[in-house]
Amino acid sequence: MRKNLFALLAAAVFVVGAVVALAADKPALKPQTTCPVTGKAIDPKTSPHVDWQGQRIYFADAAAADTFRKDPEKVFATIAAEGVTLQNIQTTCPVSGEKLEGGDMGEPVSVAYKGRTIKFCCPMCPPKFEKDPAKYLAKLPGEQGAPK
């Protein structure tokens, strides 16, 4: 009996340690500081931006923003490769339509998806999103239509 209790206690300590270690290893958010098209520095107070699929993306100039509009997936791939976290402008869950802040579901759940951070009202919504991302990306705020 004592051995079982000791083994259980040791397992609990191991699990808690693993959870703490994983939380400590979570990468820090890397805010956008450069234009994803030109590589030049941006200033969120003065640089032009485009709201697309729930993300606010800043650019060095209007020409860079137009380049983004021609092939947004290429630019999102660059953003993802650099580990940049864009400013999210969502207020509702793309799956349920529920409010993200102050809604009935508690704290929103965030999922990284191809250079975007998509927020959901609860843990039940991301699996639905993953089955048909294009459908739900089209519901996010911004000037875009359905993704190509």
Give, for all 148 residues of the chain, the pLDDT tens digit. Answer: 555 544 444 444 443 343 333 333 445 679 999 999 999 999 999 999 999 999 999 999 999 999 999 999 999 999 999 999 999 999 999 999 999 987 677 789 999 999 999 999 999 999 999 999 999 999 999 987 544 4
Burial call 61-93: b when 16+ CB within 10 Å, e when fewer: eeebbebbeeebeebbeebeeeebbbebbbebb
Question: What pLDDT sits at residue 102?
Answer: 75
Count of alpha carbons within 13 angstroms of residue 68, beta-carbon side:
29
Residue 85 lies in a domain: yes
Residue 106 lies in a domain: yes
Residue 4 lies in a domain: no
Residues near 30 by beta carbon (within 8 Å), at least 6 away in sequence = 82, 83, 84, 85
Range of the domain at 73: 29-137
Torsion over CA: 19, 25, 28, 29 (sign): negative
Residue 1 lies in a domain: no
Question: pLDDT, tens digit, for every residue of 118-147?
Answer: 999 999 999 999 999 999 999 999 987 544
How many Cβ atoms sit within 10 Å of the Cβ of residue 123?
Answer: 11
Residue 143 lies in a domain: no
For the entire predicted model, the pTM comes to 0.76
Question: What span, in angstroms and rounded, lies between the C-alpha atoms of 132 and 130?
Answer: 6
Residue 24 lies in a domain: no
Pairing relationship of beta strands 109-113 and 87-88 according to DSSP bridges: unpaired
Residue 129 lies in a domain: yes
Q: Which tokens belong to 57?
A: 């993306």
Strands (E) across 1-96 are located at 49-52, 55-58, 87-88
How many distinct structural domains can be found in the chain?
1
Question: What pLDDT sits at residue 25?
Answer: 44
Residue 22 lies in a domain: no
